[in-house]
Structure 1
Amino acid sequence: MKTVGIIGGSGFIGSYITKKFLKENYNVKVSVTDIKKSEKYQHLFSLKNSDNLNISALKMEDLEILKDFISDCEIVVHSGTPFQLDVIDAQKELFDPTIEGTENFLEAIQESPSIEKVVFIASVAAYNTNFPLPARGKNPQDKFSEKDKPFFNEESHPYAQAKFIANQTVENFIKENPKLSSEIVSVSPVGVMGKSLSNREDSTSTGLQFLFKNKIAPNPFVKMLYDTDAEMASVAVADVAEAIFKAATISGLHGKNYLLSSESYSVSDMGLMLNNELPKNKGKVIYENTLATQDLGIKFSLMQKTLNSYSE
């Protein structure tokens, strides 16, 4: 039985990743920042094969504990960077944990010869920090793929900037270390949607769906989405977990970064579907998913079904 370490494996996306690896009979180690807050990970023990699940406390800035956590893993999935839209201190809340955490993690895997595969959960922001708005020079309906030049805007949301810089850090690490003993693959999901596996109320992804469903604008960023009726590319959380599992178990993918996306819909149409109503417009695949479809064998779910499931 192989062991996979999932950093951040109790969050919205992380829980689905944990569920997938347990289902496939892996020994699964999940890190949490505070072991005392069992309400944030207790739901994982109701998953199939949870006898093979172990929960450990880990903060990415503690290099020695990080090294110990991954020391017996053949696969490591890094899903541990914060996703938040309301920010008071961007440096402390986003840039430091995201970028410095990535640097620490890369140092740790260099010293862990047992690791065969590393999967980073990047973000569509690694390609376009303006998301869900188009990159400069593109219209909302223009296609975007892995072949496009990544676009960075210093006026973008701090979360997007932090994810972009972290992804550049990973890419530079791969270039500077051509003789790594492990493969490194990244996935860059667009807006991740679907039903949470837990009852946690602090998930930004599920919270965003709640806002769209009820037409609530608690901050300038969300208000901007309503004001522009932004076209948002989305992807089902279960599809993201499937893609990560495939990226972790298929060899020969070193250095690739896959866009994970289903259709794009306007925010107003997403609100309709979250209320089990039909959208007024037909969805379009703006952020291309051809590479993930070909290399990983992913068949992306229709967003209407995914958004309908949120309320079930």
Structure 2
Amino acid sequence: MLQPNAVDPHAMLHSLADMLRRTLDQRIGIVIDATPDCPPVLADPGQLESALLNIAINARDAMPEGGTLHFRAEACGALPREVLNELGEAGEHGSFVAISVADSGTGMTEEVKERAFEPFFTTKEAGRGTGLGLSTVYGFVKQSKGAIAIATQPGAGTTVTLYLPQLFDAAPPAAPDDDDGEQALPAGLRVMLVEDDAEVRKVVHTFLATLGCEVVAAENAEQALVQMESDTGAFDVLLSDIALGPGMRGTRLAAEAQQRFPRLAILLMSGFSSELLDADREAPPSWELLRKPYSRAELARALARVLAARP
């Protein structure tokens, strides 16, 4: 369920760039081309940030030797023909803002470009990605009544452009709402992160690090329990995926960990509604369930809630 609101592209891109500069390879330069008077768009702020992060991660992987990541936002005059065809009547009569992410990386062949939005399609080696990133972005853009386009050539980089509805409203645009959640988090919060997907684990680790957390990561429940028992400092939060591959599930891990460490706050996450519904039936009131994909701000707010609710 999306929660569309007014989003200031200028503020969002600068906030996202600040985070990426602290986490990406230093050989990747980041350029922002968005004026403060760029019109606001109507979109879910958290999901828009997640979509742009997904695109940025793909761009990073396409530049293994470094390069330039260029973010741009501007009001559209005439929409490209392919976008007009995709939007139909809404494209003829609506006003849109184009938010693009361009890289100077390896680019795509025409065959890869045609399949880029297919679920589970990936050109990365095993263990380097699920192939769900761009398909999730595509779904978000379509649900937001917008369109998405890719311009690319092998060896000449790739530009992914989101065309989102321009908002005509007297209400002030909302910048990414990181502040409330971040202010509620104590400095040096110790988080045990458990996630079996290496790429997702890396992204969540980045989110937590930029929120000022001290993070220890594990790829399964058994590793996490050993780490928690052997670590000299107490953990404040267990942040675990529900499905962890073979072995113990996240819900069982959470129950076991909280039995051993009664003051431990529990935050479980999943990209599947059925898993969240099942977990909800067996979760005590102090646990929190977080649906993937989520933004850094959504994670911060969820962390603040489980800390307030812990035993």
Q: TM-score, normalised by structure 2?
A: 0.32
Looking at secondary structure, tell me which structure has more strand per residue.
Answer: 2
Q: TM-score, normalised by structure 1?
A: 0.32
